[in-house]
Amino acid sequence: MNDRCDPAEFGRIFRPRAIAVVGSARSQGDSQTVPHSFFFVMSLRNMHFEGPLYIVSRSGSPHPSLDEMVFPSLLDIPGPVDHAILCVPAAAVPGVLEQCAAKGVRSAAIFSSGFSESASAEGKRLEEAIRGIARRSSLRIIGPNCMGIYCPETGLNFRPDLPCAPGPVAMVSQSGGMAIRTIFQGVEKGLGFSKVVSYGNEVDVQSWELIDYLGWDEATRIILVYIEGTRDGRSLLRALKEAGRRKPVVVLKGGLSAEGTRAAMSHTGSLAGNEAVWQAMIRQARAHPVKDVNDLVDTAMTFCFLKRPAGKRIALMCISGGLVVNYTDLAVRSGFEVPAFDPSTQRGLEEIINEPGTSCSNPIDMASLFFNRRIYSPLFQVLNDDTNTDLILFIIAMEYVTALQMQYRVSLSGLVQAFLDIVSKVTKPFVAVIPPVVEEESRLEVERAFLKAGIPTFITMEGAMNALRARINDPREDPVRH
């Protein structure tokens, strides 16, 4: 095996001309459920995969609408097949892979589980058989025990309900569940994906190859990694380093604790290894470590939307004095500062934030001035020029916003629009924290308007601080989506 991936050759995996889904027309589990083969076919159809699509099933068609696509064996398919998706029982996998090799299939993704992760002798034997086939042929194998590839640009997909719009974010994930959650949460935060690979037990295609490739891939501007373990730490470190020189790499390590390691073992058969070793590797590669999927997505969003703040000094503002006192504590606890404004800022603010109940020092307590559209333009201008702060963070307390119609004669969409008009002129990095409190629908309306305008929004202060810390630590100045 080479220790570098050939981007041109590897890239072909993401552009198959024809795909075969190999799986029984009957479900492996509960007879009530729809068979997995049908699920994969629907996924590819919904993503508008353009090439020929075949189903290989000896037990007939998984659904009457698919009758024409069904063949009893891969070798019966008339045209070429570049990619195969296997959802047959584990014991049948080596046989199907032999057929793939004989047919000249380039890549196969194995959804089936029951291999080394099951800790059974039979599972390990089957996994060795798969590895042998990969060694003896040019077939590249993803998995087993994985979801395979999601690539909206070329129509590859593993779930019927995933979004069709592509974007700059790529993900290499040892877990299918983590990949799915990242895509869904990412879309909620305004992100699109270039390529997501769920690679499971890593029998042939290695995480480092995927990272290498994505480092070169022009459609990818940021790489997210969920990894439980590796057999080749040296290549992984090299790949992380090299990809990290070209684009930001964010890593969520699964199985850092001893108990998580045991769980990873029965999840993907991975030896998760020592926490300190992993942390050292991530640090050495200058990748950005995160603790959970919320931080993974929020960090990706922040890289996509925000230019780099020069430091950790926040200009903080909120409608409520009590909330902003606590938010200040949370910021400081996360290693940020909420310093006094410079004297000229302070003088400027005294002209703007000056009603009873407000406070114009940092953090700013806006009180009912929150509802006064006229202050936002001078307010942001003054904050934009402040030399003592590096970014502006606005807490939007929806429990006051929804009181709009009661006490103040402003519409929610009107206020949001006025606000965005002004914020678009701000050159200092700007983010919003919009916690879920009341009327989730209104909150999502505000959040989506902000995200659409390219403003990172978070639901917790800690989430904001974690993502901003990574953004500030990365030397790249511009948002990656530009």
Our finding on whether 391 is near a copy of itself (CB under 8 A) is: no
Dihedral sign from CA coordinates of 199, 200, 206, 212 = positive
Q: Which of 77, 90, 151, 433 binds a copy of itself (CB under 8 A)?
A: 90
Calpha distance 22→99 (Å, rounded): 11
Instruction: Confirm if 227 and 250 have CB atoms less than 8 A apart.
Output: no
Q: How far is the CB of 236 from a copy of itself (least distance, A)?
A: 18
Identify which of residues 11 and 25 has a Cβ nearer to a copy of itself in the complex: 25
Identify which of residues 169 and 480 has a Cβ nearer to a copy of itself in the complex: 169
Q: How far is the CB of 57 from a copy of itself (least distance, A)?
A: 17
Q: Which of 185, 279, 381, 442 binds a copy of itself (CB under 8 A)?
A: 185
Q: Which of 368, 384, 388, 442 binds a copy of itself (CB under 8 A)?
A: 368
Identify which of residues 7 and 260 has a Cβ nearer to a copy of itself in the complex: 260
Q: Which of 4, 50, 89, 425 binds a copy of itself (CB under 8 A)?
A: 89
Q: Which of 98, 153, 242, 399 binds a copy of itself (CB under 8 A)?
A: 399
Calpha distance 336→465 (Å, rounded): 8
Residues 96-155 close enough to bind a copy of itself by CB under 8 A: 112-114, 117-118, 145
Instruction: Confirm if 353 and 368 have CB atoms less than 8 A apart.
Output: no
Q: How far is the CB of 477 from a copy of itself (least distance, A)?
A: 27
Query: Whose CA is closest to 74, among 51, 49, 93, 90?
Result: 93
Our finding on whether 311 is near a copy of itself (CB under 8 A) is: no
Identify which of residues 10 and 450 has a Cβ nearer to a copy of itself in the complex: 450
Query: Whose CA is closest to 253, among 351, 347, 173, 156?
Result: 173
Q: Which of 372, 377, 384, 442 binds a copy of itself (CB under 8 A)?
A: 372
Instruction: Confirm if 38 and 103 have CB atoms less than 8 A apart.
Output: no
Residues 223-262 close enough to bind a copy of itself by CB under 8 A: 226, 228, 252, 254-260, 262
Q: How far is the CB of 198 from a copy of itself (least distance, A)?
A: 9
Q: How far is the CB of 369 from a copy of itself (least distance, A)?
A: 7
Tokens of 360: 């114009």
Task: Please list, residue by residue across 444-459, b when 16 or more beta carbons sit within 10 angstroms of its beta carbon and e when fewer do.
Answer: eebbebbbebbbbbbe
Dihedral sign from CA coordinates of 385, 387, 388, 391 = positive
Q: How far is the CB of 295 from a copy of itself (least distance, A)?
A: 11
User: What is the helix (H) or strand (E) element at residue 332, kind and residue range?
Assistant: helix 321-333
Residues 161-180 close enough to bind a copy of itself by CB under 8 A: 161, 173-180
Residues 192-211 close enough to bind a copy of itself by CB under 8 A: none
Question: What region does 205 belong to: left with phi over 0, alpha with psi -120 to 50, or beta?
Answer: beta
DSSP 115: S
Query: Whose CA is closest to 72, among 4, 14, 20, 11?
Result: 20
Q: Which of 12, 28, 286, 377 binds a copy of itself (CB under 8 A)?
A: 28
Query: Whose CA is closest to 250, among 310, 213, 306, 293?
Result: 293
Choose the stretch contacting a copy of itself; rule: CB under 8 A; options: 125-133, 211-219, 265-273, 445-453: 265-273
Q: Which of 138, 326, 344, 424 binds a copy of itself (CB under 8 A)?
A: 326
Choose the stretch contacting a copy of itself; rule: CB under 8 A; options: 56-64, 125-133, 320-328, 446-454: 320-328
Identify which of residues 307 and 313 has a Cβ nearer to a copy of itself in the complex: 313
Our finding on whether 381 is near a copy of itself (CB under 8 A) is: no
Identify which of residues 72 and 357 has a Cβ nearer to a copy of itself in the complex: 357
Q: Which residue has the tokens 């963070």?
A: 393
Phi, psi of 50 (to 5 degrees): -90, -25
Residues 420-479 close enough to bind a copy of itself by CB under 8 A: 435-438, 440, 444, 459-461
Q: How far is the CB of 19 from a copy of itself (least distance, A)?
A: 20
Identify which of residues 337 and 342 has a Cβ nearer to a copy of itself in the complex: 337
Q: How far is the CB of 260 from a copy of itself (least distance, A)?
A: 4
Tell me, by CB under 8 A, how many residues bind a copy of itself.
Answer: 99
Our finding on whether 388 is near a copy of itself (CB under 8 A) is: no
Identify which of residues 232 and 439 has a Cβ nearer to a copy of itself in the complex: 439
| Angle (deg, nearest 10), helices 376-385 and 412-423 | 30
- Give bridge partners of residue 253 from the DSSP assignment: 227
Q: How far is the CB of 132 from a copy of itself (least distance, A)?
A: 21
Instruction: Confirm if 59 and 26 have CB atoms less than 8 A apart.
Output: yes
Strands 148-150 and 193-198: antiparallel
For residue 444, give the amino acid letter: L
The DSSP result for 451-476, as a single string, is HHTT--EESSHHHHHHHHHHHHHS--
Instruction: Confirm if 252 and 264 have CB atoms less than 8 A apart.
Output: no
Residues 46-75 close enough to bind a copy of itself by CB under 8 A: none
Identify which of residues 112 and 235 has a Cβ nearer to a copy of itself in the complex: 112
Identify which of residues 309 and 463 has a Cβ nearer to a copy of itself in the complex: 463
